[in-house]
């Protein structure tokens, strides 16, 4: 599982004055809170609406700054994306002031069909005690969203994968794009999202060891996870093991 990094992207650090920061956030709370790119947005603990420019792709030309795929959280907690253009004026003494701002919706679908919640494995594996909690979506750079899972409290210590993280969005923007390509996986005939997984405390999970390359897909209440790796080191173009979990809320 990835460790949460509490920092602001370096590409955003040079815009350090309070005047410019006010143009980049919808609320004062959003300006002061540093949000990890791997942290799930929780409306219950964060005041909405607000924007997350630190996770956008920022470019600058002359007096213009363009933010591509800017994550924006609405007042209801929904996550949307916008392309934003900021135009600045420059005074005779070199003072910057915001001249105009334009924002249009970004035509992407970052959330997909995954659903957060509790999932239970097949009754034929570990006596049906493989149980995981799925969390997401979280925001990463470039419009890719992140989902994760971890073995639930009370689950078998042989639950596999014990932890996992996967990315939803264009494969080219995924941090695993090069690895998937190197493995030779045919991505044109699959709807899977790719990620990495680690095993639980059992010693025989050779297909789910730390760093395992996985493909994840969901149809209805069924969450299917495919391993493409043997012993945490060798990736293959075809599935090496598969497990399907079923969405099962706590009674």
Q: Is the pLDDT of residue 107 over 60?
A: no
The C-alpha torsion from 202 through 204 and 206 to 209, rounded to 10°, is 10
- At a CB cut-off of 8 Å and minimum separation 6, what does 99 contact? 63, 87, 88, 89
Q: Is the pLDDT of residue 131 over 70?
A: yes
Q: Residue 86: what pLDDT? A: 94
The CB-side HSE value for 5 (13 A sphere, CA atoms) comes to 9
Q: Is the pLDDT of residue 201 over 50?
A: yes
Q: Of 58-67, 186-195, 235-244, which gets the smallest average pLDDT?
A: 186-195
- At a CB cut-off of 8 Å and minimum separation 6, what does 2 contact? 38, 148, 165
Q: Report the C-alpha gap between 27 and 174 in whole angstroms.
A: 30
Q: Of 97-106, 119-128, 200-209, which gets the smallest average pLDDT?
A: 200-209
Tokens (6 digits) for 14: 């040079």
Higher pLDDT, 148 or 31: 148
Higher pLDDT, 178 or 41: 178
Average pLDDT in the chain: 77
Q: Is the pLDDT of residue 7 over 70?
A: no
pLDDT digits (tens, 9 = 90+) for 158-171: 999 999 999 998 88
Q: What is the DSSP letter of 178?
A: H
- How many C-beta neighbours within 10 Å does residue 46 have? 16
């Amino acid at each position: 599982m990835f460790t949460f990094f509490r920092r602001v992207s370096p590409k955003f650090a040079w815009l350090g004055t309070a005047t410019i920061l006010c143009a980049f956030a919808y609320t004062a709370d959003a300006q002061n809170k540093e949000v990890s790119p791997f942290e799930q947005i929780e409306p219950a603990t964060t005041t909405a609406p607000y924007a997350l420019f630190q996770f956008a792709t920022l470019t600058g030309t002359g007096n213009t700054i363009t933010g591509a795929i800017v994550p924006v959280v609405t007042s209801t907690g929904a996550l949307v994306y916008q392309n934003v253009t900021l135009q600045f004026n420059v005074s005779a003494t070199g003072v910057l002031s915001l001249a105009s701002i334009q924002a249009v919706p970004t035509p992407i679908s970052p959330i997909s069909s995954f659903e957060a919640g509790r999932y239970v494995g097949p009754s034929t594996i570990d006596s049906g005690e493989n149980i995981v909690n799925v969390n997401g979506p979280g925001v990463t750079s470039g419009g890719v969203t992140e989902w994760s899972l971890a073995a639930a409290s009370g689950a078998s210590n042989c639950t596999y994968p014990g932890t996992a993280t996967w990315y939803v969005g264009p494969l080219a923007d995924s941090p695993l794009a090069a690895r998937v390509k190197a493995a030779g996986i045919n991505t044109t005939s699959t709807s899977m999202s790719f990620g990495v997984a680690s095993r639980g405390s059992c010693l025989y999970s050779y297909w789910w060891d730390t760093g395992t390359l996985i493909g994840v897909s969901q149809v209805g209440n069924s969450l299917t996870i495919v391993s493409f790796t043997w012993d945490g080191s060798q990736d293959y173009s075809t599935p090496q093991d598969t497990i399907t979990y079923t969405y099962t809320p706590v009674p």
